[in-house]
A and B are shown apart, each in its own frame.
Chain A
Amino acid sequence: NAGVTQTPKFQVLKTGQSMTLQCAQDMNHEYMSWYRQDPGMGLRLIHYSVGAGITDQGEVPNGYNVSRSTTEDFPLRLLSAAPSQTSVYFCASSYRPVHTQYFGPGTRLTVL
């Protein structure tokens, strides 16, 4: 049981490049979400999903896309990277939306 996994752990992009952050969980959790963590600002919700085929926007969705074609996977796509997207990104999952959220190890992204 690997829990929540994220790849890559580190990534450096140039402004304008696109990429996909991968997130997977093997706990058969319905709920998955993406957060970004910036110094002094806590964790801010980007997008979330309450089940396969269902996604919704969080607090800071601009510049990011998500899809949920399977229960296990919830990739986050950066369409055209900007320096303001430099951050640590965490994926999380839970059995139901208001149950314990289990976080992945995070992806540290730098946009130059």
Chain B
Amino acid sequence: GENVEQHPSTLSVQEGDSAVIKCTYSDSASNYFPWYKQELGKRPQLIIDIRSNVGEKKDQRIAVTLNKTAKHFSLHITETQPEDSAVYFCAASIGNAGGTSYGKLTFGQGTILTVHP
């Protein structure tokens, strides 16, 4: 099955700096890659996602890049703020109906991001 590795496990930055979290996946059939943010004691919430027909996607201070050849994708947060402090999870899924793994979302282990004021 799919295996998703996420690095680093912890990341500490100063307010205003950029933060980058990287993930690699094993199944070349995966074509949907969401990122979730989970604040302490809360539920995970989607912050951005990308599909394999796109190499990069931006939403204000957040961007995700995808390299299908190398099977890795990354989350970039610019101008970090203390409220960006949370656990971030990447995930990968096969989005083509009919396969045995259709819809299975495999998560990375998470990155604890701390933004210091």
Contact = CB atoms under 8 A, between A and B. Distances in A.
A90 interface: yes
Interface residues of A, number: 22
A97 B102 contact: yes
Contacts of A90: 43-44
Contacts of A50: 102-103
A97 B34 contact: no
Contacts of B106: 45, 59
Interface string B33-49: 01000000001111001
Contacts, number: 54
B108 A42 contact: yes
B43 A58 contact: no
B34 A42 contact: no
A77 interface: no
A105 B43 contact: yes
Nearest to B4: A42
Nearest to A35: B107
B57 interface: no
Contacts of A40: 9, 109-110
Q: From DSSP, what is the main secondary structure of chain A's interface residues? A: loop
A41 B3 CA distance: 12
B46 A101 contact: yes
Contacts of B32: 98
Interface string A69-109: 00000000000000000000010000001101101111000
B107 A104 contact: no
B49 A100 contact: yes
Contacts of B108: 42
B95 A98 contact: yes
A48 B43 contact: no
Contacts of B105: 33, 45, 101
Interface string A35-75: 10000111111001010000000110000000000000000
A105 B39 CA distance: 12
B44 A43 contact: yes
Nearest to B2: A59
B38 to A, nearest CB: 9
